[in-house]
Chain A
Amino acid sequence: MVAPRPTALGRARRALGPAFWLLGLLVPVLLGGSWISILAIFAIYAIVALSQDIVLGRAGMYDMGHAVYFGVGAYVTAILNTRLGWPIFATWPIAIVVAALVGVVLSAGIVKLRGDYLLVATIGFNIIFVLALGNNVADVTGGPDGIFGIGVPQLFGTALSSQGALFYLDWLALAAVLLLMRNLERSRIGRVFRYLKEDELAATTLGIDARYYKILAFAIGAGVAGAAGTLFAVQLASVSPGSFVFTESVTLFAIVLVGGQASIPGVLLGTALMFVVPQVFRGLAQYRYFAFGIAMIVVMVLRPQGIWPRGRAR
Chain B
Amino acid sequence: MTSARAGGPLLELDGISISFGGLRAVDDLSFRVTEGEIKGLIGPNGAGKTTVFNMITGVYRPDEGGIRFDGEEITGQAPHRVARHGILRTFQTIRLFAGMTVLENVLAGQHLRTRQTWWQSLLGTPGQRREERALVERTMETLQHLDLAGVAHEVATSLPYGVQRRVELARTLVAGPKLLILDEPAAGLNDRESAALNDTITSIRDGGVTILLVEHDMNVVMNVTDSIVVINFGKKIAEGGPAEIQRDPAVIEAYLGQDDEEAAA
Q: Which residues of A contact B (CB under 8 A)?
A: 1-4, 179-180, 182-184, 186-192, 194-195, 198-199, 201-210, 216, 220, 312-313
In chain B between 104 and 151, which residues have their CB closer than 8 angstroms to a CB of chain A?
A: 104, 107-109, 111-112, 114, 116, 118, 120-124, 128-129, 132-133, 136-137, 140, 149
B121 near A187 (CB under 8 angstroms)? yes
Task: Return 18 A-B CB contacts under 8 Å, by A number.
Answer: A1-B140, A1-B149, A2-B136, A2-B137, A180-B122, A186-B132, A187-B121, A198-B97, A198-B98, A201-B59, A202-B97, A204-B83, A205-B88, A206-B83, A206-B109, A209-B80, A210-B80, A313-B101
A186 near B124 (CB under 8 angstroms)? yes
One of A179, A190, A199, A207 near B121 (C-beta < 8 A): A190
- A187-B132, A216-B118, A312-B155 known; A199-B109 Cβ under 8 A: no
Chain A: minimal CB distance from B265 (Å): 32
Chain B: minimal CB distance from A303 (Å): 16
One of A186, A199, A220 near B95 (C-beta < 8 A): A199
- A1-B152, A186-B132, A195-B97 known; A205-B118 Cβ under 8 A: no
One of B59, B82, B116 near A187 (C-beta < 8 A): B116
In chain B between 43 and 83, which residues have their CB closer than 8 angstroms to a CB of chain A?
A: 57, 59, 78-80, 82-83
B57 near A205 (CB under 8 angstroms)? yes
B163 adjacent to chain A (CB < 8 Å): no
Q: Which residues of A contact B233 (CB under 8 A)?
A: none
B80 near A207 (CB under 8 angstroms)? yes
Identity of the chain B residue whose Cβ is nearest the Cβ of A262 in the assembled complex: B99
Chain A: minimal CB distance from B44 (Å): 25
A206 near B175 (CB under 8 angstroms)? yes
Chain A: minimal CB distance from B212 (Å): 14
Chain B: minimal CB distance from A17 (Å): 15
Q: Which residues of B contact A199 (CB under 8 A)?
A: 95-98
Chain B: minimal CB distance from A5 (Å): 10
- Complex Cα gap A160–B83 (Å): 53
B100 adjacent to chain A (CB < 8 Å): yes
B24 adjacent to chain A (CB < 8 Å): no
B122 near A201 (CB under 8 angstroms)? no
Q: Which residues of B contact A (CB under 8 A)?
A: 57, 59, 78-80, 82-84, 88-89, 91, 95-101, 104, 107-109, 111-112, 114, 116, 118, 120-124, 128-129, 132-133, 136-137, 140, 149, 152-153, 155, 171-172, 175
Identity of the chain B residue whose Cβ is nearest the Cβ of A224 in the assembled complex: B122
Chain B: minimal CB distance from A226 (Å): 15
- A202-B95, A210-B80 known; A195-B108 Cβ under 8 A: yes
Chain A: minimal CB distance from B89 (Å): 6
Q: Which residues of A contact B89 (CB under 8 A)?
A: 205
- Complex Cα gap A194–B101 (Å): 12
A204 near B79 (CB under 8 angstroms)? yes
- Complex Cα gap A115–B118 (Å): 24
Chain B: minimal CB distance from A208 (Å): 6
Identity of the chain B residue whose Cβ is nearest the Cβ of A189 in the assembled complex: B121
- Complex Cα gap A192–B140 (Å): 19
Chain B: minimal CB distance from A237 (Å): 31
- Complex Cα gap A208–B66 (Å): 24
B111 near A207 (CB under 8 angstroms)? yes
Q: Which residues of A contact B149 (CB under 8 A)?
A: 1
A187 near B122 (CB under 8 angstroms)? yes
One of A2, A184, A186, A198 near B100 (C-beta < 8 A): A198
B153 near A4 (CB under 8 angstroms)? yes
A207 near B107 (CB under 8 angstroms)? no
- A2-B133, A187-B132, A206-B109 known; A201-B124 Cβ under 8 A: no
Q: Which residues of B contact A182 (CB under 8 A)?
A: 124
A207 near B136 (CB under 8 angstroms)? no
A206 near B88 (CB under 8 angstroms)? yes
Chain A: minimal CB distance from B51 (Å): 15
Q: Which residues of A contact B133 (CB under 8 A)?
A: 2
A207 near B112 (CB under 8 angstroms)? yes
B140 near A188 (CB under 8 angstroms)? no
Beyond the given A187-B122, A203-B108, please list 12 additional residue pairs across the A-B interface where CB-CB is below 8 A: A1-B149, A184-B122, A187-B116, A188-B111, A189-B118, A191-B108, A192-B111, A198-B98, A205-B80, A205-B89, A206-B83, A207-B111
